[in-house]
Amino acid sequence: MSDPSPEQAAVRPVIGISTYRQLANWGDWRHIPADLLPADYALSVERAGGVPVLLPPLGSAESARIALSRIDGLLIAGGADINPARYGQEPHEHVTTWYDDRDAWELWLLAEADRERLPTLGICRGMQMMAVAAGGSLVQHLPDVVGHGDHGGTPAGYSSTDVTVEGEGRIAALIADRLTVPSHHHQAVDAHPGFRVVARDGDGVVQAMEADGDRFAVGVQWHPETADDSGVFDGLVAAARERAARRG
């Protein structure tokens, strides 16, 4: 990715971020349906120079097409498990909760982003959804494979995972070759057609993947929005800025 011109650098691209729709409590309100997301996602986009816009789950592919026609980049955020039926499997005993409205919405968003070659970043569940949208599959319960639950976080929030970047590519240009990342997942990408693995941890778990070609389409399994780890957000915003500048 070339350095932006002064005119390009002045552009603040709009980044759409997928959200939950769940019952929530705030103030005097209890169990109210709400469209919500941890603020760290939007703050990370803003710090990278983008303008974040939340994309709550809507009920049609047409809504996804309209939404993406008005933004410059897409971020598929973390969250709950994906319905295993989306990748042709029965649920594991540890997979008990999913949200079909969000699954459908993000699949529509990713299909439209692929059609429009929109810069896209997936974080945790978001990377897993990118793999599923491409026809891939997931490891439903990682402890069954690696023999421990260390990836799944702690009672206080996140655990730590050591990640090694493999080879060259977009991820290698954005982050260090080796880093310790915040982790909170019990699933992982298994099959990932159209993407190549560019980072793993010591258990061999896929920690980052990216599409070949000149489009920014990157997924990471960890949570860079919670740490001093702006590289992937810088990459997304830079790619979105280039696209916005080309569109005028």
Encode burial over 113-124: b for 16+ CB neighbours within 10 A, e otherwise. bbebebbbbbbb
Residue 141 is a catalytic residue: no
Encode burial over 136-171: b for 16+ CB neighbours within 10 A, e otherwise. bbbbbbbeeebeeebbbbeeeebbebebebbeebbb
For residue 96, what are the contacts with CB-CB under 8 A and spacing of at least 6?
Answer: none
For residue 10, what are the contacts with CB-CB under 8 A and spacing of at least 6?
Answer: none
Residue 225 is a catalytic residue: yes
| Residue 181 and residue 163 in contact, taking contact as beta carbons nearer than 8 Å | yes
Residue 185 is a catalytic residue: no
Given the residues 106, 112, 225, 242, the one annotated as active site: 225
Q: Where are the beta strands (DSSP E) in the chain?
A: 14-18, 20-26, 29-36, 51-55, 73-76, 120-123, 138-139, 159-165, 178-183, 188-189, 195-201, 206-211, 217-220
Amino acid 228 reads D
Q: Determine the distance from the C-alpha atom of residue 145 to the mean position of all C-alpha atoms in its chain, rounded to a whole number.
A: 23
- In this structure, what DSSP letter does residue 175 have? S
Given the residues 106, 112, 124, 185, the one annotated as active site: 124
Question: Active-site positions?
Answer: 124, 223, 225
